[in-house]
Amino acid sequence: MTTLSESQADVLLHALGLRDRIEPSEQAPYRNQYVAEQEDSDAEAMVELGLMQRVKPPAFIPQGWCCYAVTSHGEVVAHAEHRRRNPPLKPGAARYRRWLRWSDAWEISFGEWLRRGYHRMTDEEILKR
């Protein structure tokens, strides 16, 4: 297993859009790009490890900036790091996190959420109520 510094792991997760995504449904990468104003030492170290590669920046990126993409090996390492940082939630914590997602839309306490059985419903079922 490749050992990365915290800053290298942050770059790798950021490049895939995973750094701040902790819900299980949000664990698929939604991008594969990391852009830096100048050569980035963390990204360059991962190029040497085969986790990232330098790619030609898109036309809208200012000239002289560096663009990196995560390799397939880097994606495997990123997912392992993501799981390490975000271990599976215990059932009670998962229910609470789910209520937090809905709590801004409804003025309902967590206890009331549980009493009404919303924690056992799918999102689609909740929306129909």
Domain that holds residue 52: 6-85
Residue 1 lies in a domain: no
Q: Domain check: are 78 and 122 in the same one?
A: no
Q: What is the pLDDT of residues 80-115, one digit of tens each?
A: 888 888 878 888 988 998 898 888 887 889 999 999
pLDDT cut 90: percent of the chain above it: 47
- The whole-angstrom separation of Cα 96 and Cα 80 is 25
Residue with tokens 């924690």: 119
Give the Cα separation of 34 and 15 in Å (integer): 5
Is 62 in the same domain as 37? yes
Same domain, 72 and 122: no
> What is the per-residue pLDDT for 87?
79
Total domains in the chain come to: 2
**Is there a single domain that holds both residue 120 and residue 76?**
no
Question: Which domain CATH number covers 11?
Answer: 1.10.10
pTM of the entire predicted model:
0.69
Per-residue pLDDT of 3-26, as tens digits, reads 899 999 999 999 998 876 666 556
